[in-house]
Amino acid sequence: MHLQGIAIDDSFAEAFPMKATRLIVTAHTLEWARHAGTAATGFATSVIACGCEAGIERELSPDTTPDGRPGVALLFFSMSGKELAKQIERRVGQCVLTCPSTAVYAGLPEGEAMPLGKNLRFFGDGWQQSKVIDGVRYWRVPVMDGEFVAQESTPVVKGVGGGNLLLLARDTDSALAAAVAAADAMRQVPNVILPFPGGVVRSGSKVGSKYKALSASTNDAFCPSLLHVSPRSALTPEVGSVLEIVIDGLSEADVAAAMRAGIAAVTGHGSQPPVAGLLRVSAGNYGGKLGPYHFHLRDLLPEGAHA
C-alpha cells in the first residue's frame, strides 16, 4: 500500500494486556506539578527492566483538578496489579511526597482499588489524619511546607501496552523529523502515553536472544547496518535509519486512535505535507504470539485516504 508516496506495510502492531491507573498530581504552581510528574514517571520506558511504563498524559488547568490547583495527569502501566501497586507506592512516596506543595489523587472513576495514600500515610509517624468527603477517604500527612494530601486508593483497570509504529527513513534527519511529527500528533490523543524518551525508541527489540540471560535483544530485521548480514532483514538499501514509537493506552480503541493520528501526521494527510525522506511505515509484531491485540495498519489509514 502507498499513501502520499509513502509505503505502508501490510503488517500489524502486536500489543498485550496490562494493568493501568491514572494519578492526578497537583501543586502550588504548574512548574512544581511538572517536577513531581517528571520524577515519578522517570525510568519507566519498558517493563523489560523498569517494572512499569509511565508518562505524563497531559497538563491540567485548575478548573479540572480535585483541589482547584494546576496539575498533571500521569498514566502508569505494568504487567500485574501487584507490581503496579509496588511501583505506585515507591514512585509517589519518593517523587511526589517529597516535592514541594504537591498532592495526589485518583484519576479514574472506577476500577479495582489499589493503595495510594493508604500506606504512604505512615510517613506521618502518627500525626497523619484522614477525612472522608463524599464517601472518599483522603489522608493529610504533615510535612515541612504544610501537609501532603493523598487520596487513600486509586482504581486499577485493564490497559493495552505495546502498540507501535516503525518509521523507515532515508537518513537520521528524516527519521527524527517523522518521529517528532508522529509523537506530537499522538500526544493529542487522550488516554495514551508514549513511554520512551521524547516518545521515541531507537533500540526496538525482538523477543529472546542467543544469550540465555536476555529476554529481549536488538530487532535485527530493522537494523540498517545488518542489511546484508542478517537473514531476517526487512530493509532495502535506501533505508538508513529506523525509529519506533511505542504506545500504551487505557483501551484498544485509544491505542488505535493514537496510531491513526501518527500515520496521518507523517504521511501528510491534512494540512501538512508528508515528511521528506520518510520511505515506509511499518509495525512490530511476533506473528501474533505475544499478545491478543493486533493493530493492522491498513485499518488505521486516515479516513478518506486511498492506498
Give the whole-angstrom CA distance, residue 279 versus residue 238: 9
Q: Do 120 and 141 touch, CB atoms closer than 8 A?
A: yes
Q: What is the pLDDT of residue 259?
A: 98
Phi/psi at 244 (5° precision): -120, 145
Are the C-beta atoms of 102 and 27 separated by less than 8 Å?
yes
Q: What's the pTM?
A: 0.95
pLDDT digits (tens, 9 = 90+) for 39-71: 999 999 999 999 999 999 999 999 999 999 999
The low-confidence residues of the chain, meaning pLDDT below 70, are: 270-271, 303-307
At 152 the three-state DSSP class reads coil
- Domains 2-15+159-299 and 19-157 belong to one CATH topology: yes
Please tell me the predicted confidence (pLDDT) of residue 270: 62
pLDDT score, position 4: 86
Domain definitions of the chain by residue range: 2-15+159-299, 19-157
Beta partners for 59? 72
**Short-list 154, 150, 153, 157, CA closest to 78:** 157
What CATH code would you report for 19-157?
A: 3.30.70.520
Q: What is the pLDDT of residue 286?
A: 85
Look up residue 30 and give its three cell numbers.
Answer: 504548574
Q: What's the CATH class of domain 2-15+159-299?
A: alpha beta
What confidence score (pLDDT) does residue 243 get?
A: 98
